[in-house]
Chain A
Amino acid sequence: MNATSMTVAGARLEWNPPERGRVAMFSLIAAEAAIFTIFVVAYLFYVGKSLTGPTPKDVLSVPVLYTICLLSSSLTIHLAATSLRRGSILSFGLLWVATITLGAAFLYGTAIEWYRLIYNEGFTISTNLFGTTYYSLLGLHGFHVVVGLLSLSIVMVFTLLGSVRSEHAERIDVLSLYWHFVDVVWIVVFTVVYLIGR
């Protein structure tokens, strides 16, 4: 039988299935959220169960500045995507650079915090349960920030080469979904590590 004949004559259909990139990104975010859930559960389960010091109160300081950096990068990436949709490549590029800078500032904040903890406090992943859960959870999140920054940088390179145009707004939106997710995870991690666990 000919496949052509499968078409029903006279069928005029409105057919707008959802955009596949968006669906795939939401699925990936669901999977990532499940991974983070397990790490957060482990962190909460082990709060106060370390047999030896140091405790979170002894060594952790609340990273307010770097948290503001990461969270405001969600705003800049949103504005960047909106500019691109409007067709303003210059403001897209500037806001994109701002997003990368804010993300990099957050990573720098994590780096100096970890340097202090490891070299000044002698507090490592094998020190106690707190160390194991703290470095794993923040490390997993930091890894996602790194992946996000790499993806953002690839887009930056293409922007500088002049090949990003307003018809790519949908793809930029999909990428910004990932970045928003990384920020939302930070809100959870911040709450768990610095507010509940400390």
Chain B
Amino acid sequence: MSTDAIALPGTELASQPFVARLHDWVTTVDHKRLGILYITFSLLFLLIAGVEAMLIRIQLIRPHNDFVSPQVFNRLFTMHGTTMIFFVIMPVMFGFANYLIPLMIGARDMAFPRLNAFSFWMTAFGGLLLYFSLAGANGLYGAGNAPDVGWFAYAPLTSQTFSIGHSTDFWILALLVSGFGSIGTAVNIIATVLCMRCPGMTLAKMPLFAWLNLVMAGLVILAVSPLTAAQIMLLVDRYLGGHFFDTQAGGSAVIWMHFFWVFGHPEVYVLVIPAFAFASEIIPVFSRKPIFGYSVMVAATIAIGFISMSVWAHHMFTVGMSSAANNFFVISTMAIAVPTGIKIFNWLATMWGGKIEFKTPMLFCIAFLFQFLIAGLTGIMQGAAPFDWHLGNSYFVVAHFHYVIVGGILFTLFGAFYYWFPKMSGKMCSEALGKLHFWLFIIGFHLTFDFMHIPGLLGMPRRIYTYEPGRGWDTWNFIVTIGVFFQAAGILVFLGNLIWSYFRGKAAGSDPWDAWTLEWSTNSPPPAYNFASRPVVKSRRPLWDFKHPADPDWNYE
């Protein structure tokens, strides 16, 4: 494990004055630094949106609570949802994609480094714009501050009549601006994966991480663009006196729902496919086996990508569509469960007969498998229109999608942090703190989101700021809120672990997990140029071939 003979640029940076280092970070076009900027930015917003979630849950801990006012409650759930989707999970996934894809495919950088920097700063300014609404949204009428129209901002609530002042405009502009950033990053990821691979790495030999992020980028292209179009229409309505969503001039409020969910459902897969990508890299390494059914995994991901474009109106069963439309969206929603199920079986088959190491990243991925299965099952329940007529807009829905986003996506994301932190920082994370984080978070997660299904089944609607006692919701809401404190403690342990390990962690070396993809063949952290010479690969696990020259993978692929 010798380091490269070439002197590492960056080692002398530590001695530079703070302003010079800051200048380097702000003007960087290096994919690794931009990746870290993306990740840091989203961790900051994770804290903010997490505090918003805590305030929401404290308000709901008992009936007739008056911890926050109804107006503030509306702002809290709007900002929580918008921030978590657009400024936490999307950027953190882009951050990992940015950092890892060029390393995994043996490239020097992304295809368009300056576009990459542009996209990051667009996303960052979008996030700042959203939170600037707290100070800047008073407007002429002095009404409102943060946006309070809900994260899907149904018409006509967003019209000038019902949303005076500028809070909704900040919401629109924040998503428009960060949307341009997302499209830029997606274009970059597609060009990088298709054009920058090192010699020998055919599409069928790419790490699954690169494959899945390619599909994710394709979905961003096709999903975020409709949102951009819808936001432009909303601006036309609000500023130029247009009538797109103005029901009094013959416009339709329902068409906003269609435009929003044409974005909104593929967006779920934009968020979850990178989570699948993490699991597909971590589970094989800690099971000491190659991934089971590589080509089926790729095919299933592409199938999910296609089908996810045709399921959007299952968010709208309660609006009252024709039975033909209902049937179509029920069937397509059921259909998407098939490729997703295939993936779960493939991960299980990868673990089957493996020599499983229960390190922190693997713990998070195993929890993900169970929790994502349950999230998928409640998804199928609500995919049946008659069932959804009863549970639409209830806490059952809230519990379901948090099961996907927290139980599925956030868990693999934590796994990814523990798995790739040694590569990014050169230091190992503390296993003890990692396990403490895992157990705190899994207890908190299940207390909160398992029990959240029940008040939903008992008829508790989402987005109410308080409720009457004696409806059977009190105990469940109490338990749900208690779970939040466990999760918050877990997050604090996690952040503490990152900071402690960065300064005090033991050196990681280039390949601490004995893994098989190219990013582990260079130093930790990698030098600015990534690889001293361009790698050439012959199989899906180039480092296995390198470590076992007598029994290389290409004999079997």
Contacts and interface: CB of A to CB of B under 8 A. Distances in A.
A17 B196 contact: yes
Nearest to A24: B191
A39 interface: yes
Main secondary structure of the interface of A (DSSP, over half): helix
B386 interface: no
A58 interface: no
Contacts of A136: 232-233, 236, 242, 244
Contact of B255 (A18, A28, A42, A126): A42
Contacts of B229: 34-39
B262 A132 contact: no
Interface string A37-52: 1110010011001110
B518 A6 contact: yes
B14 interface: no
A5 to B, nearest CB: 7
B186 interface: yes
Interface in B491-540: 510-511, 518, 521-522, 531-538
Contacts of A20: 111-112, 191-192, 194-196
Contact of A132 (B222, B230, B243, B252): B243
A184 to B, nearest CB: 16
A192 to B, nearest CB: 15
A78 to B, nearest CB: 24
Assign chain B's interface to a size class.
35 or more
A13 interface: yes
B259 interface: yes
A126 B248 CA distance: 13
Nearest to B182: A31
B10 to A, nearest CB: 16
Contacts of B447: none
B363 to A, nearest CB: 28
Assign chain A's interface to a size class.
35 or more
Nearest to B115: A24
Nearest to A49: B250
Contacts of B262: 38
A128 B195 CA distance: 48
Given A6-B537, A7-B536, A129-B249, A28 B196 contact: no
A2 interface: yes
B546 interface: yes
Interface in A43-89: 45-46, 49-51
B357 interface: no
Interface of B: 1-2, 4, 106, 111-112, 183, 186-188, 190-192, 194-197, 199-200, 217, 221-222, 224-226, 228-230, 232-233, 236-237, 240-244, 249-252, 255, 259, 262, 510-511, 518, 521-522, 531-538, 542, 545-546
Interface of A: 1-8, 11, 13, 15, 17-20, 23-24, 27-28, 30-32, 34-39, 42, 45-46, 49-51, 125-126, 128-129, 132-133, 136, 140
12 contacts: A3-B531, A6-B535, A7-B533, A28-B183, A34-B226, A38-B233, A38-B262, A39-B233, A42-B244, A125-B236, A125-B241, A133-B244
What are the nearest 8 A-B pairs in CB distance? A126-B241, A34-B225, A38-B229, A6-B535, A132-B242, A20-B195, A15-B199, A3-B531
